[in-house]
Amino acid sequence: MLRRNVLALSAAGLSAPFVARAQAPWPSGPVRVIVPFPPGGGTDIIARVFQPKLAEALGKPVVIENRGGASGSVGAMEAARAAPDGHTWLMVYDTEATNQTTMRLPYRLMQAFAPVSLVATGPLVLVAGKAAPWANLRELVAAAKKAPDAISYGTAGIGTLAHVSTTLLQQMGDFKLAHVPYRGGGPALQAVLSGEVPLASLPAVTANPQIRSGALRPLGVTTAGESRHVPGVKSFAQQGFADFDAPTWWAMLGRAGTPAPIVQRMHEALASVLTNPELRAKIEEQGADVVAGGPERTRRFLNAEVQRWGQVIRDNNITLEG
């Protein structure tokens, strides 16, 4: 029996240390990727772009499971309870770093999860709805200074990078907007399109189709300079907010304790998929830059994001309660 298992694992390209721990080929069944936001947001969009090719690479179905709520923490808690057998993974958004400070969670990011890959980064964009009266950021800031907290903006939730970075923007510019959190980028997008809120801070991945159609007007992007994904729109740093830089990002995580060879194989499968020119172009067309960084790079990046934005959150007393 052991000989047959060793042969099966060798055929799958896995190493001997994994044989001793798992005694079975991986994956042995469908692979679940939890997206901790509702359908239609940037995280869901990117996951569904690579889903079919990842299934081909792994040789098993890849099932996207949307578990929205509490700025992504509901889905993360579901993933944190999963068995560390490599059959449940978590596609996280920037909220996973900020949640570590805004919430009292039953898990800690770097203890509960094994980083697999930094999938992509991209700009956040502050957009105004068709009925909004501001033609540019300067006009919006002037109006907000005249009527503090009277102008509302939507985001994918409390503590998301969109929320925290817009808070920093207000702090730097000495103006105040009213934050309206939604249960993901999709609902926030619908809110600004319907006029429920006049503004929204969204990843370009979510907002770009509506920007291109003329339904939304971009006022600025959060990258240090102009982004090719929102052409012709200046960054906040270029509009007087010196050194402002807050790109959004997406990463794939596994359950802590997942055997290292499985984590590495998932990274290699995902990286091979993300380097596919056709698939890469699809993600970039949506408004994100493919990174496909490995486990160690992802670990360092996540640690830095938790520390950087944790300080802004503490300075502004941002909590899940508001």
pLDDT band at 321 (very low <50, low <70, confident <90, very high): low
Over residues 130-144, mean pLDDT = 97
Do residues 212 and 259 both lie within one domain?
A: no
Of 173, 204, 239, the residue that ends a domain is: 239
Asked if residue 97 and residue 50 are part of one domain, the reply reads yes
**What is the average pLDDT across 185-208?**
94
> For residue 244, how many other CB atoms are within 10 A of its CB?
20
Q: Which domain holds residue 129?
A: 124-239
Least confident of 53-57, 137-141, 202-206, 274-278: 202-206
Residue 12 reports pLDDT greater than 90? no
pTM: 0.81
> Considering its fold, how many domains does the chain have in total?
2
Q: How far is CA 77 from CA 62, 71, 85, 89, 299, in A?
A: 20, 12, 16, 12, 19
Contact predicate 187/69, CB 8 Å: no
Question: Rounded distance, CA 65 to CA 79, Å?
Answer: 11
- Residues 157/185, Cβ–Cβ less than 8 Å: no
- 202 is a domain residue: yes
Question: What would the pLDDT profile of 148-184 be if each residue is shown by its tens digit?
Answer: 999 999 998 888 899 999 999 999 999 999 999 998 8
Instruction: Give the chain's mean pLDDT.
Output: 90
Tokens of 262: 């499985």
Give the Cα separation of 227 and 204 in Å (integer): 10
Inside any domain, residue 322: no
Lowest pLDDT segment from 2-11, 186-195, 198-207: 2-11
Q: Which residues contact 112 (CB under 8 A, 6 or more apart)?
A: 76, 80, 255, 256
Q: In this structure, are 116 and 156 located in the same domain?
A: no
Same-domain check for residues 63 and 164 = no
Bridge partners (DSSP) of residue 255 are: 113
Task: State the amino acid at position 216 in one-letter form.
Answer: L
Confidence of residue 19 (pLDDT cuts 50, 70, 90): very low
- DSSP-assigned beta bridge partners for residue 178: 152
Confidence of residue 40 (pLDDT cuts 50, 70, 90): confident
Where does the pLDDT of residue 214 fall: very low under 50, low under 70, confident under 90, or very high at 90 and above?
A: very high
Confirm whether 147 is domain-assigned: yes
pLDDT in tens, 73-104: 999 999 999 999 999 999 998 889 999 999 99
Contact, 135 vs 219, CB < 8 A? no
- Return the C-alpha torsion angle 65, 208, 274, 281, nearest 10: 140
pLDDT attached to residue 11: 37
CATH number for the domain spanning 99: value is: 3.40.190.150
Residues of the chain with pLDDT > 90, as a percent, come to 79
Q: What is the CATH number of the domain that holds 166?
A: 3.40.190.10
